[in-house]
Amino acid sequence: MVLESGKITAEGVASLRSRLGSFNRPRQYGVGLFNEDASRSAIRHFCQGIGDTNPLYWDRSYAQETRFGTIIAPPCFLYSVYWCSGRTGGLAGVHGFHAGNDWEWYRPIYLGDQISVQEQFTGLEEKKSEFAGTIMIQSSVTHYYNQRGEAIAKTRGWQIRAERSAAKERQKYSFEPYHYSRAEIEAIQEAVLGEEIRGNNPRWWEDVQVGDDLKPVVKGPMSHGDITAFVAGCIGGISHGIQLREMLRHPSWGFTDPSTGAQEAIIRVHDIQEAAESAGLPGAYDYGCQRCCWMGHLLTNWAGDDGFVKKMYVELRRFNVVGDTTWCKGKVTAKRQEDGENLVDLEIWGENQRGEQTTKGTATIRLPARQSSTDPA
């Protein structure tokens, strides 16, 4: 059966639904992964791509003095191993927007860890939207393991599949570049330079109070260079003959840039205006996993070296286009002791320079306690 490309059809949905429960990626090491190993360079490049200067991830001498005894990777480094966004294919030419992740981490990612991945296609739901009419929400569950077979983490990721032509016709999202005042730029720069990394100063569970605010992590105004650095450190890419062969295998995977005639992968919606417009979007915008990594950066800054991010749930609610600034924020909503662990629950969110909430979620962090400190490992 030949399924209509670029359209959500009953036949296409039925074919995709028949694959529910299948493994898009059986548990395997190396095949199709970007950062297969948590090497010193891979960790550094990832941190460069998200703007994280925590010495625990960069400085071997510093890290050797921590309870880990070595450099570790940030929890969201796993995005750079395998980008888990529910992208299970099956609707040719129908655009996919990363819409969120629900993470649970079990152990740290140590320098030198070799990581294998298993992904299962777990959900398919049809909905109506103002953005593009009929949309499909695809989801998958991805597990990550180290070289000893120990589970590092799992996540449920989901994406929205929408017809590019329908989204373009409806033009739900308009785009007018934001013009910052000098005072706004100065405030953003002050916030960026004033970022607080808790580091080796323990954040004791007893000292945390419900209602406490996390010091924001600020990203922006986002540039094309910020996106390029993220791609270099977290996603990678293919080019020349490798890309051409892939586009010949999947013709609807890309588009022809009208201004240059060059064949481009549709993923270039993140840095080419014409590609974004071809998918009905207002302009080039960030990667969904990029924004999730920013929220992870907020959490590890606050938790300190002796804290451990156990859970993070993130919904991507609005587009974050080039030129936008995201203020990653959080607030303590509860604290509890459970199964011998000292836990803090958080509400987290991102808002742009217009005051719009672009991202929302929750997190749980394990902290040390003065009376019975827990080991993050």
Residue 177 lies in a domain: yes
- Residue 2 has a pLDDT of 33
**At 247, which amino acid appears?**
M
- Residue 31 has a pLDDT of 56
Write the pLDDT tens digit of every residue in 98-111: 999 999 999 999 99
Residue 376 lies in a domain: no
- Residue 258 has a pLDDT of 75
- Residue 193 has a pLDDT of 96
Alpha-carbon 347 to chain mean position: 17
Write the pLDDT tens digit of every residue in 332-368: 999 999 999 999 999 999 999 999 999 999 999 999 9
Write the pLDDT tens digit of every residue in 31-76: 568 999 999 999 999 999 999 999 999 999 999 999 999 999 999 9
Q: When comparing pLDDT for 190 and 127, which is higher?
A: 190
- Residue 256 has a pLDDT of 75
Write the pLDDT tens digit of every residue in 267-324: 777 887 777 776 667 788 999 999 999 999 999 999 999 999 999 999 999 999 999 9
Residue 373 lies in a domain: no
Which residues, 6+ apart, have CB-to-CB distance to 360 below 8 Å? 314, 315, 317, 347, 348, 349, 350
Q: Find the helix packing angle between 40-50 and 288-303, rounded to 10°.
A: 100
pLDDT(29) > 60: no
- Residue 373 has a pLDDT of 47
The closest of 35, 79, 74 to 55, measured between CA atoms, is 74
- Residue 63 has a pLDDT of 98
Residue 372 lies in a domain: no
Which backbone phi and psi does 100 adopt, to 5 degrees?
A: 165, 170
| Span 121-150, average pLDDT | 88
Per-chain mean pLDDT for the chain? 88
Query: CA–CA separation, 101 vs 130, rounded Å?
Result: 23
Residue 377 lies in a domain: no
Q: Domain count of the chain?
A: 1
Angle value at C-alpha 216, between 211 and 217, nearest 5 degrees: 150
Query: CA–CA separation, 31 vs 377, rounded Å?
Result: 28
Residue 1 lies in a domain: no
Query: CA–CA separation, 355 vs 360, rounded Å?
Result: 13
Write the pLDDT tens digit of every residue in 169-178: 545 556 678 9
Residue 261 lies in a domain: yes
Residue 4 pLDDT level (bands cut at 50, 70, 90) = very low
Q: Are 350 and 329 in contact (CB under 8 A)?
A: yes
> What CA–CA distances, in Å, run from 206 to 130, 215, 219, 245, 305?
47, 19, 31, 58, 17
Query: CA–CA separation, 179 vs 321, rounded Å?
Result: 13
CATH number for 46: 3.10.129.10
Q: Which domain holds residue 216?
A: 10-181+187-366
- Residue 257 has a pLDDT of 75
Residue 371 lies in a domain: no
Q: Return the structure tokens found at 263.
A: 């064949």
